[in-house]
């Protein structure tokens, strides 16, 4: 590790993440690494292949992005990392996350390649020179056939949500792409499930991989009704506001990913007339207890929390 770690999240991460990346994740407001991140980062920093079984939402993107970005040679403007995803939506999501983590890396460039986007836009990205390519198998194959994407200098390949790529019929394209990568590259395969076909791909292309399996979280108890509403990022606040307007509730707990997001959402809810407070790792124990008492007594409508909240919530005798 070069330099001092600037934050609590940096102190909790395995050593080896570059200081510019630590600076970025501190600014984002991450408080602690998830299990998949804590277990994946050390072997990936060491250049080992990895076979990870984990559900969506466990922090897989940071688990592979932080170590692979730390190993980039930024003086070279050719693809060094390739991330394959089953859908354009996931490709965009992964690309945006990696771009955010790399915001302080000088000379960093990334190309996102997926179907439905104007090919000229993608060609401009590639001609400019990039260190990271994120894309869907079909469009990556298209660029390989055109000769507009060169994988000769690739050092790492990530197969994200491999079981979804199998389900959508992309697994043969994935194998064609892997066959055109250098033999000494690092391969990272993440999958929520491990069907035989995905296991065979792992056996063929991964060399002595570290295997990690993150258990699914305990299912919600039968007395809890679950509903979900798929929304784009810019529409989430409007959707939440609408739900608050039409649903009767005595108190509400809203989870967000980072302490920065918690603070921002609390301010916006306050502006809409809801008594709200933040519950995150930055809040002192005394203030946490006061906040819990406020919501117990009905003087607070909404708690906006990071994942520190469940421990505080349960330790104060409140039902989840």
Tens-place pLDDT, residues 153-163:
999 999 999 99
pLDDT tens-digit profile of 81-133? 999 999 999 999 999 999 999 999 999 999 999 998 889 999 999 999 999 99
In angstroms, the CA 136 to CA 134 distance is 7
What are residue 157's DSSP bridge partners? Answer: 82, 187
Helices and strands in the chain: count of H runs, count of E runs: 14, 10
pLDDT surpasses 70 at 10: no
- Taking residues 140-151, report their average pLDDT: 96
State the Cα–Cα distance between residues 30 and 229, nearest whole angstrom.
25
pTM above 0.95, yes or no: no
One fold for 8-213 and 233-315: yes
**b/e string for 168-191 if b means 16 or more Cβ within 10 A?**
eebbebbeebbeebeeebbbbbbb
* Adjacency order of strands within the sheet including 81-84: 110-113, 132-135, 81-84, 156-159, 186-191, 50-53, 210-213
What is the model's pLDDT at position 227? 80
Q: Is the pLDDT of residue 310 over 60?
A: no
The predicted structure's pLDDT at residue 312: 43
Q: Where are the domains of the chain?
A: 8-213, 233-315
Q: Which fold has domain 8-213?
A: Rossmann fold (3.40.50)
pLDDT of 3 strictly over 50:
no
The CB density around residue 100, as the number of other CB atoms within 10 Å, is 14
Residue 31 burial (CB count, 10 A): 19
Q: What is the pLDDT of residues 239-282, one digit of tens each?
A: 888 888 888 888 898 988 788 888 899 999 988 888 999 887 67
Q: What is the mean pLDDT of the chain?
A: 86
The fraction of the chain above a pLDDT of 70, given in percent, is: 87
Position 47 pLDDT exceeds 90: yes
pLDDT band at 319 (very low <50, low <70, confident <90, very high): very low
Task: Say what the pLDDT of residue 311 is.
Answer: 43
Rounded Cα distance between 31 and 50, Å, is 25
Architecture of the CATH domain 233-315: 3-Layer(aba) Sandwich (3.40)
pLDDT tens-digit series, residues 278-293: 887 677 777 877 888 8
Q: Which two tokens stand for residue 109?
A: 């460039």
Helices (DSSP H) in 13-55: which residue ranges?
A: 19-28, 35-45
């Amino acid at each position: 590790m070069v330099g001092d770690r600037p934050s609590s999240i940096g102190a909790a991460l395995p050593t080896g993440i570059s200081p510019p990346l630590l600076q970025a994740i501190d600014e984002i407001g991450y408080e602690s690494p998830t299990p998949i991140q804590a277990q994946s980062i050390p072997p990936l920093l060491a250049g080992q292949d990895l076979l990870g079984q984990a559900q969506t939402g466990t922090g897989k993107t940071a688990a592979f992005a932080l170590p692979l970005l730390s190993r980039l040679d930024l003086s070279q403007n050719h693809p060094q990392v390739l991330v394959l995803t089953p859908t354009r939506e996931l490709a965009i999501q992964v690309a945006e996350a990696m771009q955010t983590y790399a915001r302080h890396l000088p000379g960093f460039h990334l190309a996102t390649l997926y179907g439905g986007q104007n090919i000229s836009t993608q060609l401009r990205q590639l001609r400019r020179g990039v260190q990271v390519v994120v894309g869907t198998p079909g469009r990556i194959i298209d660029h390989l056939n055109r000769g507009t994407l060169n994988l000769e200098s690739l050092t790492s390949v990530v197969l994200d949500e491999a079981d979804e790529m199998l389900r959508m019929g992309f697994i043969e394209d994935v194998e064609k792409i892997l066959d055109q990568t250098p033999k000494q590259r690092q391969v990272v395969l993440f999958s929520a499930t491990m069907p035989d076909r995905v296991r065979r791909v792992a056996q063929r292309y991964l060399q002595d991989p570290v295997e990690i399996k993150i258990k699914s979280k305990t299912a919600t108890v039968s007395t809890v009704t679950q509903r979900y509403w798929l929304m784009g990022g810019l529409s989430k606040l409007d959707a939440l506001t609408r739900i608050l307007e039409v649903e009767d509730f005595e108190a509400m707990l809203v989870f967000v990913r980072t302490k920065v997001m918690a603070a921002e959402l609390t301010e916006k809810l306050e502006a809409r007339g809801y008594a709200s407070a933040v519950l995150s790792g930055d809040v002192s124990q005394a203030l946490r207890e006061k906040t819990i008492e406020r919501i117990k007594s009905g003087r607070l409508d909404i708690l906006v929390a990071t994942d520190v909240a469940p421990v505080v919530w349960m330790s104060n005798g409140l039902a989840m």
